[in-house]
Amino acid sequence: MTETRLLDDRYEVGALIGRGGMADVHRGRDTRLGREVAIKLLRRDLARDPMFQTRFRREAQAVAGLNHPAIVSVYDTGEEQLGTDAESASGLKVPFIVMEYVDGRTLRDLLASDEVSFDQAVDYALGVLSALSYSHRMSIVHRDIKPANVMVTADGSIKVMDFGIARALADSAATMTQTQAVVGTAQYLSPEQARGENVDVRSDLYSAGCLLFELLTGRPPFVGDSAVSVAYQHVGEDALAPSALNDDVPAAFDPLLAKALQKDRENRFQDAAAFAHALREAREGVPYSDDPAEAPTQLIGTAAAAAGLDESEAATEALSLPSAETSALPTHDSSDPTVAMTAAAPHATTPEDSWHEDSAHEDSGHTIGAHARERSPYEKRRRRAWIIVFTLVTLLVVGGGGWFVWNWSQQIQAQNVRVEVPAVEGMTQTDAQNALLAENLRIAEIVEEFSDDVESGFAIGTRPGEGESLRVDSAVVLLISKGPSSVTIPDLAGATESSARATLEELGLEVETEMKEENSATVPADRVIRTNPAAGDPVAGGSTVELTLSTGMVSVPDLLSGLTVEEAEELLSDPAYGLNITVNEVENAVVSPGTIVDQSPEPGNDIEQGGTVTVDVAVAPPSPTPSPTPTEEESEEPSESPSADESPSESEAPSESPSEDD
C-alpha cells in the first residue's frame, strides 16, 4: 500500500487535478481542520531556478491578503524538503501553497463545450469584475486574466485564481521577466503589456474586456497563427463588433466593448466598478456613451423603438407628459416607461392648449373668474398629485441621505478601529504573515535585511514596530532576516554540491551557478575540492561563493621518461597522483638498463583515481655466441691429440732406450 504523502505534518497530498507552467495542483486534505484543500507545488525541475522560486512566493504574498468570495483563498504556505540525507543530491526545498478547494470547471472548459449562454456570460464577467475591483483596491494587479484562470462553481459562482505573475501597483513597472519575455497570455494581453510597458489596473480591465468578448462570441477579439501576430493586433488593430460575430448579442454591447478594448488606457474604463455599471446598463438595453448628456436621448430612442415612434415624436410625448398624471394612470404598468409615456400622452395638456381654451371662453362672454371656478376640480387634483410626488421625492431623498450618512458613519467607525502590531520577531515568514493578517493588518511589503541576532529566513520585526497602535487595514512592512552581515566561509571540502549549496544558503550566501571542475587524486567525483573565497575567510552577507568540484580523474605526469622504476614508483605513489605502476621490460642496447623508455597512458592524459600506469623499462640484450672458423679448428687439434706424423716418433722414443740398455 502506498504511503500517504504529508506536507508540514498536516496536509495530505492527493491526486493531481491540474498542471500549469510552473506548478502542479493536487487535491489534498487538512488533517488538523478536517477540510478539503488544493495544494499547489512548484515543479521539481524548476525548484533550482531562483526566478520561478520568486514568482511562486510572489503569488502567495499577493493572494494571502485577499479575502473576497470571487477570489480563491490562500490558507497557508510552506516548503517541502525533498530528501532527508544531507548528502542527497535531491535535498531541495520546494515551496507550496495551500488554497481553497473549488469544485467546478474553468471558463475555458465551458467555452470549449459551448455551454455559456448570453445571461451567463454577463454574470461571469460581472463576477470577474467584482474580484478585480477588490484586488485593485488592495493594490494588486492580476496581469493574466483569461478563461483558464476563472473557475465556475456548481452554483454558478465565480472564483478568480492563479496570481502567479501578479504584482503590487508599486512594483507594476516590472513587466518583463529575467529572460525579457513579455508576461501574460497573447489572446488577452493589453497593448501596454505587448509593448513591454508598465501595467496598472486598466491593463486588467482590457484583459477582462477580451474575456467578455470571448464569452459573448465564442472567440477572442484577436486571433492569429502565432502569439506575435496576435500581440501586433492588440497594439495596432481594432476588434470587430461582437454583434457582427453573434446575432444573439445586442447592439448595446458594441460601444461597451469598444470602450473596454481601447488601445490607449486613458480612453478605457478607469476602474472595474465603472465597467460593471456599464455592463449592467448594456444588459438592460442602454448603450454605453462617454457623454452623460446622451443618456436621456438613448432612453427615449429605446422607448420610441418599442412604441413604433421616431425619436422626435417620443421626445415630444415625454416632455409634454405631467409626472402626476403619469403616476395616476391605473391601467398601465408603471415598470414599463415606454408604455406609461405613450399611454398618458393623449391626456396631456400643453400651455398652448390652456391659452386657447381661455381665449375661447373669453370670446363666448365668460369671465376669467368663472372659467377659473369651472376648472377648480382639475386644478385641485393636479395640485394634490404634485404634493404627493413632492412628498415621495422628499422622503426618498431624506431616506437615501440618512442611509448614506449612516453607512458612511459605520464605515468611518470601522476604519477608525485600532489594533496593536503583534510581536513577530523570531517567527518564520509564513507565521509572521498569518499573525499580521489575523490582526486585520495589510502587508504592504516584505523587506530582507541583515541581522546578527536573527537566523536567516525568520522575522526581524515590522515597521511600524511591535505594540504600535494602527487603524484596521493599515499597511505594515515585514522585515525578514538575511542572516548576519559578516559570514565566515565554512570548510566544505569533500561535501556534495547540494549539501554545500544548502549550507551556504542557510548562512545567507549565494552560490555561483557555473561550477568549476578540476582533477583530484583524493577528492571523489562531484565532491567539493575548495571554495572561492577560501574556507575561513570572512565575507559580507549575501556574497556569492564559487564551488570547485572534483572530476574524479588524475592527470598522468610527463616526467617518467628517463627515470628508474624505483623513482617512478615513488613519484606515482605521491598523494598528488595516487597511481599504481606496472613494469614491462623491453630489450634496448642503447639506453642504460633499468631506465624507463616509454609509458601508457601518454603524459598529460587523464585516468581514474587509483589507476595504473604501464612503463617500459630497458634491459640489456643477451651476448651473441660466435660460430667457430676452420683455421681455429686446425690450430686447436694438436693441443687435443697428437697428429699422425708426430705420434710414432714420440711413442718410439721411450721404447728405444730400453733396447739400448739391453
- For the annotated binding site, the residues are 40
| Residue 523 DSSP code | S
Neighbouring CB atoms inside 10 A of 429's CB total 21
181 backbone dihedrals φ, ψ, rounded to 5°: -100, 135
* 3-class state of residue 163 by DSSP: coil
Check: CB of residue 146 under 8 Å from CB of residue 185.
Answer: yes
Instruction: Please report how many Cα atoms fall inside a 13 Å half-sphere around the Cα of residue 55, on the Cβ side.
Output: 25
Crossing angle between the packed helical segments 118-137 and 201-217, to the nearest 10 degrees? 170
- Rounded distance between C-alpha atoms, residue 368 and residue 360, angstroms: 11
* 3-class state of residue 565 by DSSP: helix
Check: CB of residue 207 under 8 Å from CB of residue 197.
Answer: no
Check: CB of residue 147 under 8 Å from CB of residue 111.
Answer: yes
Check: CB of residue 231 under 8 Å from CB of residue 182.
Answer: yes
Cα angle: 590, vertex 594, 598; to 5 degrees: 70
For CA atoms 362, 368, 369, 373, give the dihedral sign.
positive
Q: Cell 496576435 maps to which residue?
A: 230
- Rounded distance between C-alpha atoms, residue 508 and residue 590, angstroms: 65
Check: CB of residue 124 under 8 Å from CB of residue 152.
Answer: yes
Check: CB of residue 141 under 8 Å from CB of residue 169.
Answer: yes
Q: How far is CA 331 from CA 66, 307, 339, in A?
A: 51, 17, 10
* CB-neighbour burial class of residue 360 (10 A; exposed 0-12, middle 13-18, buried 19+): exposed
Among 144, 162, 204, 254, the one annotated catalytic: 144
Active site residue 49: no
* CB-neighbour burial class of residue 154 (10 A; exposed 0-12, middle 13-18, buried 19+): exposed
Positions annotated as catalytic residues are: 144
